[in-house]
Amino acid sequence: RKSTRMAAAAAVPAEDQGAYAVDCEFIQVAGHGGELQKVVCSIGVVDDRLEKILYARVKKPMGSVVMDDSFVRTRGGLNPDWDKGIHIFVANNLLKAFCEQGGLLVGWQLESDLKALGLTEAGVLAADAEGHPPYGRRMGLPIGTPAHPVDANIVELTDVYRTAEHGAKCTLAEAYTAVFTRTMSAHDAADDAAMTMELYRYWRDAGSPDRISIAVAFHVVNAHTFAPDRRSELLWRFLRPTRRDRDVVIERDDGENVFQLKFRRLADRDAFVTELRRRVREDGPPHGVWWGQEVPGEPQGSVQVNCGAFRIHLFEQLR
């Protein structure tokens, strides 16, 4: 049956099908048995004419207890009334209707959205890039029921948009900025779905290639050469990111010498360095810490700073 589905789907060119970009936002809840699960709290659907088909809140499962909603409250600005909204079946039935009409579902890490929408088998298959050629597509994913079978054909854009240096995955915002040389202020699931659809149209109009390379880099802060027996103190007093930075930085600590922070956006690293300078200026002198002269380092374009009790190295790392 799978081969029949794939053949039927492949017989219709992608550009002749309606396409619908889907994006969901999530919260973490505890179910009746206390198990933690990620559930959809809002969904956005945008068609290939960039028309917003749906943006709605999705109510959490009845009787579940919210354990973590910090991301959607701070990023999306949603009020924490998670019992309000449409039932998840409403969203599911809309997507099924699109698929029955031959529509493509387009996403960025769509497997996560499908699983959270309760379409678990389709979500598992959506994650399997090698098992569903051509690359970037998954054909004939089951999203219906035994009584009413429905198959979905999807386009997974994280297959296609990869970093130029190592072919690694990048974020939706990074791909969008690199392709269109502009940023989009995405505040909710509908905004993310619109960005996803623009990237889909760019890929489709380019002939649906297997790969579109994105030139991106990490903007790195390396702290090293700590004063003896003071590493932990200096990290907590000066170098640890604040809570609000946690979503924009990757923290790596070798436990011995190097403490590294990797930012995806230069603006976020600049903001961290500004905050670090403030901490050093206000609290540094009593602890033998100051902001020294910035001198060129290696690789070219990097900067070294002697802060007394530790040293800082700022550089770019191609991805």
Structure tokens at 127: 């994650």
Which residues contact residue 257 at a Cβ distance below 8 angstroms, ignoring those fewer than 6 apart?
224, 225, 226
Concatenate the DSSP letters of all residues of 147-191 into one string: SS--EEEEEETTTTEEETTT--B--HHHHHHHHHSS-----SHHH
Which residues contact residue 217 at a Cβ distance below 8 angstroms, ignoring those fewer than 6 apart?
316, 317, 318, 319
Residue 131's pLDDT is what? 65
CA dihedral 17, 15, 118, 94 (to 10 degrees): -40
**H/E run at residue 91:** helix 88-100
Measured on CA atoms in the order 86, 88, 90, 91, is the torsion positive or negative? positive
Residue 153's pLDDT is what? 94
Q: Whole-model pTM?
A: 0.82
Cα–Cα distance between 85 and 67 in angstroms, integer?
Answer: 19
Cα–Cα distance between 163 and 144 in angstroms, integer?
Answer: 35
Total number of residues shown for the chain? 319
Residue 2's pLDDT is what? 41
pLDDT along the chain (319 residues), means of 10: 40 61 95 88 96 95 90 75 93 94 95 93 84 76 93 94 93 93 81 96 95 94 95 94 74 92 92 94 94 90 95 95
Q: Which amino acid is at 203?
A: W
Give 312's Cβ-side CA count (13 Å radius): 26
